[in-house]
Amino acid sequence: MIRVVVADDSALFRAVLKSALEADSEIQVVGRASNGDEAIEAVVRTEPDIVTMDVVMPGRGGEDAIKEIMKRRPTPIVVVSSLDRNAIVFRMLAAGALDVVAKPDGSQAAMAALVKKVKDLAQAKESIRSSRRAGSGPRPQPPLPSVPASPSPLPHAPVPASAPSAPARPKTPVEELFRSPAGKAAPAAGPAEHGPREAPGPARLVVIASSAGGPPALEKVLSRLPARFPVPVIVVQHIAVGFASGLAAWLGATSPNPVSVPHGDPLAPGSILVAPDDADVEVLSGRKIQLHRGGGAPGAAHPIADVTLRSAAAVYGEGLLAVILTGMGSDGASGAAAVKSRGGRVIVQDEASSAVYGMPRAARPFADAVLPLDEIAAEIVRFATRSGS
């Protein structure tokens, strides 16, 4: 049974959502809250599997409530919001919420999508192993220096096979929420942690894929790329319809490179394009992209990373760098396989720093490097600025 706390300032919406959730025999609403303080109390008292969190509520709002929950009892949280372009939604994700969905408009399909999201996130949860404060990991690092006019590879000392493992850094609560299912280890195939494989030539395109837990991970990576980054970047983040533009604006606030949602824009060096929330991005020759709307299986998360990765691999070959970050499911794995088959390179976020170790685990057998989140930006720069062999 999936135990849910519903937090929303509207009594009517709380009742409607409770009815919709409990129409599924696997879900029980164990608490309802009209503001942030009530949400915190309900989470501590009922110990739910997941929380649906409104944004603006009387007194303590959703953002502050999430921060307090992450201190006191870290719990998977999905933000339910109609504020699709408001930065507060993405601050809530940075505070510890794992995903955001649009507040249902009353249609059966919209409510069904919210119920599915609640079930997917709750069922991905294995255990919570800590109640450390959010942000207890390493302090943020400043952006990397600007890329020189004639770039050379960044130094990267390989870790000898016999070297002792570095002490694990403390995990933040959002990183503690999810583990690989049922104690299963990651596939044995693939590289050792911190051990990138060498490949000729610099990257000419970077594609970054992520899902649940992705926005704060993307913010950390993109904010550390240097200004005037020499190659284009495509970001494929699973996100609810209506939120891609807000995500791009939020990422752009800390990125030294321009971030936008494409409308047929060419792939220009230094541009960061966030895939639309209602379309899949196909990469074409001549630095072009094409947007495909309405594709994929019913209920599939969009945009689909495999579509972008497979098409980009066919065009860019060994000049493509794929990065697979935190997320549910296995989207990106077949795309990563295509990247490797064409001679490209793949970086995968490690389990310890992933909020949800689904997509990275699925792509790990194809990885050239499996790295903590804090090291991924530097590795992207290394691949993008290396000299050919």
Catalytic residues: 211, 238, 331
Residues with Cβ < 8 Å from 353, sequence gap 6 or more? 137, 171, 175, 326, 372, 373, 374
- Tell me, rounded to whole angstroms, the distance of Cα 17 from its chain centroid: 26
How big, in percent rounded to 5, are the helix, strand and coil portions of the chain?
35, 20, 50
State the Cα torsion 322-362-76-372 to the nearest 10°: -50
Residue with tokens 């599924």: 24
Tokens found for residue 298: 């019913």
Tokens found for residue 81: 């919001």
d(CA 389, CA 23): 60
Residue with tokens 């230094």: 270
111, 104 Cβ separation under 8 angstroms: yes
From the list 129, 122, 125, the residue with the least C-alpha distance to 29 is 122
d(CA 22, CA 36): 23
Tokens found for residue 134: 């959010």
d(CA 384, CA 374): 17
- Tell me, rounded to whole angstroms, the distance of Cα 366 from its chain centroid: 19
